[in-house]
Amino acid sequence: MIKDVMVRLDGSRTDDMRLAAVDQIAEQFDSHLIALFINVLPMPPVEGEGMAPAYSMELIDKARVVGHKVEAKLQERLARLQKPVELRRFDAFGSTISDIAAREARTADVFVTMRPNGSSQDPEHLVESVLFGTGRHLILIPHHKTTVPAFNHAMIAWNGSREAARAVAEALPYLRKATIVSIVIVDDGDLVEDQAMLGENLVEHLLHHGIGATIHRVPKVGKIGSTLVAEAKRLKPDLIVMGGYGHSRLREWLLGGATYEMLHNAPVPLLIAH
Please check whether residue 25 lies inside any domain of the structure. yes
Confidence of residue 257 (pLDDT cuts 50, 70, 90): confident
* Tens of pLDDT, residues 14-57: 899 899 999 989 999 999 999 999 999 998 766 655 566 777 88
Distance between CA atoms of 63 and 234, rounded to whole angstroms? 45
Q: Do both 71 and 165 map to the same domain?
A: no
Q: Do both 162 and 108 map to the same domain?
A: no
Give mean pLDDT, residues 4-16: 93
Q: Which of 51-60, 118-127, 255-264 has the lowest mean pLDDT?
A: 118-127
- This prediction's pTM: 0.90
Its domain, for residue 165, covers 153-273
Q: Do both 137 and 162 map to the same domain?
A: no
CATH code, 72: 3.40.50.620
Confidence of residue 267 (pLDDT cuts 50, 70, 90): very high
Q: Do both 167 and 233 map to the same domain?
A: yes
Number of structural domains (the chain) is 2
Confidence of residue 82 (pLDDT cuts 50, 70, 90): confident
Average pLDDT value for the chain: 88
Please check whether residue 190 lies inside any domain of the structure. yes
Q: Do both 190 and 238 map to the same domain?
A: yes
Query: At which of 121, 141, 161 does a domain end?
Result: 141
Please check whether residue 146 lies inside any domain of the structure. no
Please check whether residue 61 lies inside any domain of the structure. yes
Please check whether residue 9 lies inside any domain of the structure. yes
